[in-house]
């Protein structure tokens, strides 16, 4: 904890400390406050108890706009969102319930829902608005963008505008649009090259398992699913990871006839095998994907006879999951809202990114922008777009919020 000196303005610390529902305000550094907000476990039944949710505030001025960053996961290290830089705004980052330091005692999964998360964000806005009167805009990247949009859906008047980066809107627990995406990106030759690479790895599974096991042990991973199954999952995940994040082109993918260990090295560089370790088992994010948010699956058909199992569902990582646990109703309502009612919304996508396949729909005649980078992947922000699209975003935000907008470089 930083000791406040007489030469620093202590007003934000004092005001935050005196807010109802705010606890443990820690002035980490000048203008940066790490605190806790007491949230109901169940916003519809206050007798169910409470938990403390982590919130980090970067203070710029009580008269400045506010950017509410709804994280989809744990907070991690503090960083300035591009909107906060563009607007010269205060930044409020919320950790998602059941993540990081914001886990209720006993992890009662029935309270990890879209509605409860939206109510968490609403509570934070109501607590802070008396000292930060706005205008407010909420934002998030990937799952955090889903969180922002869902907060806006349930509480449209909490913020003036919403900016969601690379945020999908799946409508099934294994949304087929994502698998179909791999047939539309790159060239047919590239698609065949990636699939041949996967086949070669599976054909040499027995030969490669000792090296794969050594790699996993070096990372400290526990693999309760078994090394062979995790190997298969990692191979099936390869095209998703390749198009989501990798900055390598198809020409970098080793030829199918190359040394198998070279193929394994490239696989582990691109596809995160740790995603399938015990660290993901019973994870809160998989619970959300497999009960409400929707997710993706794999096409095992091209590898018939080469896989250990017939089916590799990702919801095996959700705690106690059964197929009947998934309910698409909330995401269907969000999609309908985007088509008919959502105003002042910006979404960004990289067209190569698999998550661009189930993109948020754009409503006809509504004040929305969807900005796409034809060569972009899962890190597409306003600052990474072309000059014309950056100008579109800045113009819309200035009009919506009534403030000046700074250009932010990459």
User: What local confidence, expressed as pLDDT, does residue 8 receive?
Assistant: 56
pLDDT in tens, 212-230: 999 999 999 999 999 999 9
User: In which band, very low, low, confident or very high, does the pLDDT at 389 lie, cut at 50, 70 and 90?
Assistant: very high
Q: How far apart, in whole angstroms, are the C-alpha atoms of residue 274 and residue 247?
A: 20
In 217-241, which positions are buried (b, 16+ CB within 10 angstroms) versus exposed (e)? eeeebebebebbbbbbbbbbbbbbb
Domain ranges of the chain: 11-169+329-401, 176-325
Q: Where are the alpha helices (H) located in 129-156, listed in sequence order?
A: 143-154
User: In which band, very low, low, confident or very high, does the pLDDT at 188 lie, cut at 50, 70 and 90?
Assistant: very high
Q: In 78-135, at which residue ranges do the beta strands (DSSP E only) sit?
A: 90-94
User: What local confidence, expressed as pLDDT, does residue 405 receive?
Assistant: 73
pLDDT in tens, 247-278: 889 999 999 888 989 999 999 999 999 999 99
Domain 11-169+329-401 has CATH 3.40.50.1820: yes
User: What local confidence, expressed as pLDDT, does residue 9 receive?
Assistant: 66
User: What local confidence, expressed as pLDDT, does residue 345 receive?
Assistant: 98
User: What local confidence, expressed as pLDDT, does residue 139 receive?
Assistant: 98
Q: How far apart, in whole angstroms, are the C-alpha atoms of residue 125 and residue 68?
A: 8
Question: pTM above the 0.75 mark?
Answer: yes
What value does the mean pLDDT take over residues 176-193? 94
Q: Which helix H or strand E contains 246, and what residues bound it? A: none
Q: For the chain, what is the mean pLDDT?
A: 94
User: What local confidence, expressed as pLDDT, does residue 79 receive?
Assistant: 85
pLDDT above 90 covers what percent of the chain? 89
Q: What is the dihedral of CA 153, 155, 156, 161, to 10 degrees?
A: -90
pLDDT above 70 covers what percent of the chain? 97
pLDDT in tens, 348-368: 999 999 999 999 999 999 999
What value does the mean pLDDT take over residues 195-209? 96
pLDDT of residue 4 exceeding 80, the answer is no
């Amino acid at each position: 904890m930083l000791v406040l000196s007489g030469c620093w303005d202590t007003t934000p610390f004092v005001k935050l400390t005196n807010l109802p529902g705010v606890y443990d305000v820690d002035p980490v550094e000048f203008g940066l406050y790490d605190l806790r907000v007491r949230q109901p476990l169940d916003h519809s039944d206050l007798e169910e108890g409470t938990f403390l949710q982590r919130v980090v505030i970067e203070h710029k001025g009580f008269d400045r706009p506010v950017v509410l960053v709804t994280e989809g996961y744990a907070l991690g290290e503090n960083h300035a969102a591009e909107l906060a830089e563009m607007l010269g705004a205060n930044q409020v980052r919320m950790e998602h319930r059941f993540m990081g330091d914001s886990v209720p005692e006993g992890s009662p999964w029935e309270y990890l829902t879209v509605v409860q998360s939206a109510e968490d964000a609403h509570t934070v806005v109501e607590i802070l608005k008396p000292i930060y009167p706005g205008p407010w805009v909420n934002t998030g990247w990937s799952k955090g963008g889903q969180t922002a949009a869902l907060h806006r859906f349930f509480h449209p008047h909490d913020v003036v505008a919403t900016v969601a980066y690379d945020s999908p809107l799946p409508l099934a627990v294994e949304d087929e649009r994502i698998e179909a995406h791999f047939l539309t990106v790159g060239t047919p030759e590239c698609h065949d090259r990636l699939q041949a690479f996967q086949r070669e790895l599976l054909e040499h599974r027995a030969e490669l398992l000792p090296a794969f096991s050594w790699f996993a042990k070096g990372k400290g991973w526990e693999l309760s699913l078994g090394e062979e199954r995790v190997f298969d999952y990692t191979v099936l995940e390869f095209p998703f990871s390749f198009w989501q994040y990798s900055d390598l082109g198809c020409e970098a993918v080793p030829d199918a006839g190359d040394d198998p260990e070279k193929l394994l090295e490239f696989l582990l560089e691109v596809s995160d095998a740790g995603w399938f370790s015990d660290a993901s088992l019973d994870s809160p994010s998989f619970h959300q994907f497999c009960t409400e948010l929707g997710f993706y699956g794999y096409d095992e058909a091209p590898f018939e006879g080469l896989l250990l199992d017939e089916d590799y569902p990702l919801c095996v990582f959700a705690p106690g999951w059964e197929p009947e646990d998934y309910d698409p109703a909330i995401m269907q309502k969000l999609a309908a809202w985007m088509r008919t009612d959502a105003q002042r919304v910006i979404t960004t996508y990289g067209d190569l990114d698999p998550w661009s396949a189930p993109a948020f729909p754009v409503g006809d005649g509504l004040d929305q922008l969807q900005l796409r980078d034809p060569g972009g992947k899962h890190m597409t922000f306003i600052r990474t777009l072309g000059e014309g699209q950056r100008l579109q975003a800045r113009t819309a935000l200035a009009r919506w919020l009534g403030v000046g907008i700074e250009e932010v470089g990459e």
